[in-house]
Amino acid sequence: MSDKIALFENKKIRSVWVEAEEEWYFSVVDIVGALTGSADPAAYWRKLKQRLKAEGNETVTNCHGLKMRAADGKMRLTDVASTEDILRLIQSIPSPKAEPFKLWLARVGAERIEETADPELAIDRAFETYLKKGYTKEWIHQRLLSIRIRNDLTAEWDIRGVKKGVEYAILTDEITKAWAGMTTRQYKSLKGLKKENLRDNMSDLELVLNMLAEATTTEISKTVKPETFNENANVARQGGQVAGNARKEIETKTGRPVITKQNAIDFTNVIELVGEIEKDDSQP
């Protein structure tokens, strides 16, 4: 685990990265203190927790203890929650500072409903989001294509009885190891990533080879029709090896490694994103 302190309106927000879960956890008391301005955020959180429990709110159940560095420098057990659960908790806090978060959540929810009715909206919004983050239009087109290719692969896995979650992750690792020579986690570590999406931090060439690996895996699967998980894993390795061979040939011809530590510009955090939304809304 690694810890970090972020600032929100000069209030310290302690967080800890749990490598095994690939998840950031935030101090609930720190969030409560920052949003409410309470002189005793621990007491505020205790009362809020009691009320939420009485209401049957499952978010409280998801909050658990992790050791974080306290004001006296000692590591003490502290209630923490994931990003998703923190956002759910914020909805229960009657504070003007919480309102931007609530408005943002409402807008995101409305957009998701619209995208369900018209999937093309999701593509358009994704394009605009990547543009705002500074990606080139050429890279974005490739990234959107990689999403379609990934969806084709997972659709094929569904047909072959592969289960979402752990089995998807294992097969993805098999593909990645075969073409990139490392697991997905090792790949992310090389690029200095934690929660960020690996594909969003790939170069044009890395994206192309990853697409080649996944598209080839899909085609081989459609041909051989694997029936067991082990057979699917073997197909994943074969698909990855095709792209792996291409990577090695490219590196031989250019004398440079395809896979590098380079990654995308750091993502803005949720608080900064909300701020940007508010600025956009203020424009005539």
Q: Give the DSSP H/E element, type plus range, for residue 35.
A: helix 28-36
Q: Tell which residue, 207, 208, 210, 238, has the closest CA to residue 222.
A: 238
pTM of the model: 0.63
Partners of 75 in the beta sheet? 69
Given a contact cutoff of 8 angstroms between Cβ atoms, the answer to whether 229 and 165 are in contact is no
Burial level of 140, CB count in 10 A (0-12/13-18/19+)? middle
Pairing of strands 23-27, 64-69: unpaired
User: What pLDDT digit, counting tens, does each position of 97-116 carry?
Assistant: 777 766 765 676 677 667 66
More confident residue, 170 or 121: 170
Output DSSP code: residue 201.
G
pLDDT at 136: 84
pLDDT at 84: 82
pLDDT at 201 over 60: yes
pLDDT at 267: 33
Alpha-carbon dihedral 57, 62, 66, 72, rounded to 10 degrees: -20
Burial level of 66, CB count in 10 A (0-12/13-18/19+)? middle
User: What pLDDT digit, counting tens, does each position of 228-256 carry?
Assistant: 999 999 999 999 999 999 999 999 999 99
pLDDT at 231: 98
Element counts in the chain: helices (H) and strands (E): 12, 5
User: Both tokens of residue 80?
Assistant: 């923490």
Q: Is residue 279 very low, low, confident or very high in pLDDT (cuts 50, 70, 90)?
A: very low
User: What pLDDT digit, counting tens, does each position of 73-87 carry?
Assistant: 788 888 988 888 888
Contacts 24+ apart (CB under 8 A), 75-78: 78/14, 78/27, 78/28, 78/29
Among residues of the chain, what percentage have pLDDT more than 70? 83
Q: Tell which residue, 151, 153, 256, 156, has the closest CA to residue 206.
A: 256
Domains in the chain, CATH or no CATH each: 2-94 (3.10.260), 134-254 (no CATH)
pLDDT at 19: 67
CA 113 to the chain's CA centroid: 20
pLDDT at 68: 84
pLDDT at 38: 86
More confident residue, 136 or 249: 249
Q: Tell which residue, 3, 6, 2, has the closest CA to residue 267.
A: 6
Among residues of the chain, what percentage have pLDDT more than 90? 39
User: What pLDDT digit, counting tens, does each position of 151-168 carry?
Assistant: 999 999 999 999 988 999
User: What pLDDT digit, counting tens, does each position of 26-70 carry?
Assistant: 889 988 888 888 889 899 999 988 888 888 877 777 788 888 888
Output DSSP code: residue 195.
S
Length of the chain: 284
Q: Which of 10-19, 53-62, 269-278 has the lowest mean pLDDT?
A: 269-278
User: What pLDDT digit, counting tens, does each position of 211-226 carry?
Assistant: 999 999 999 999 999 9
> Mean per-residue pLDDT for 139-156?
93
